[in-house]
Amino acid sequence: MTRDQKNIWNQEKRAVRRLRDGLGKPVDPGIMETVAILRLFGFTTTSSCGGHLDRAVSPYVAFRSSENEVDRQLIHEASSTAAKRQRRNRAIQHNADELASLLGYLERFYARRRVPYPQQLICQGFGVIGYRLATQDADLVYAVTDTEHRKLVMRQRQEFDAFTEFLMAEFFGTKDDAPSRAA
């Protein structure tokens, strides 16, 4: 990685560390690098979680189109049902365009990576609201024992880490040039 690339990476990680959610909480350290690389690719992340070992929450990153807030305001301001529907469809299209971009990265990632289907990352769609990147087995945290829960969340985190490393190699160059997870 060149000095300029390291500066870009470190600057984005600092920017992500300053982000706060609606409750004023920072991005979880376990998902911070995933959020940072997605933002470098131009994705508008809206919330995230690194997963929790003490409660039923799996890792995820939510995102939406950069035009989403304006789109939603226009829906609210529309004077007729037809106008609301048209603006809603436009908002969904904007989010779908961003989703299509992310799906391309996931497709390339899984073309080279073989893991059981439940472990794979997927995008869950919420139309006008946006999308969520999570593992296929994310909701199993509600159906497993405490011991299984810990193993499940750790495996989910590993899948996010592998995808993050893939994206870093895509953005910065070869895998050998990508910074380590500890950087």
Contact 74, 88 (CB under 8 A): no
Instruction: Name the pTM for this structure.
Output: 0.86
Tens digit of pLDDT for each residue in 85-114? Answer: 877 777 778 778 888 899 999 999 999 999
User: CA 73 to CA 85: how far, in whole Å?
Assistant: 13
pLDDT digits (tens, 9 = 90+) for 166-177: 999 999 986 554
pLDDT tens for 138-151 read 999 889 988 898 99
